[in-house]
Amino acid sequence: MTDPAGNVEYRVAHLRERLAAGELGELGVRVEVRGRMVLLTGTVPSARCRDVLLHTARQELADLAVHSDVVVVENTSPDHAEELP
């Protein structure tokens, strides 16, 4: 009989490897197991990166609840000059 908790840890480790090796490899995202739920926390540079991250996590952890506290931090240049008083 397989250990369900060990299986979850294995799958989360595999997810971490996929994230590190893929296009999202530079992201500061943490993946934590909390019972039968997985929590993703951290920051990403765009909404597209967040979507790819969530899709990958849900694909890898299909039968687990995946909760995201991932924040999008856009690093774009201002489109106008800042006015100082």
What are the Cα distances from residue 63, in Å, to 11, 13, 71, 82? 11, 16, 24, 49
Per residue in 15-40, pLDDT (tens digit) is: 998 888 877 665 678 999 988 899 99
In a domain, 26, yes or no: yes
The answer on pLDDT for 1 being more than 60 is: no
Mean pLDDT of the chain: 84
Domain count, the chain: 1
Residue 19's CATH number: 3.30.1340.30
Per residue in 4-16, pLDDT (tens digit) is: 556 889 999 999 9
Summarize the confidence of residues 44-64 as an average pLDDT. Answer: 91
Name, in order, each residue with C-beta under 8 angstroms of 56's C-beta and a sequence gap of 6 or more.
Answer: 15, 18, 19, 22, 24
Q: Element (H or E) spanning 19, and its range?
A: helix 4-21
- Domain hosting 46: range is 4-72
Bridge partners for 42 per DSSP: 29, 70
C-alpha of 22 from chain center:
12
Summarize the confidence of residues 45-66 as an average pLDDT. Answer: 91
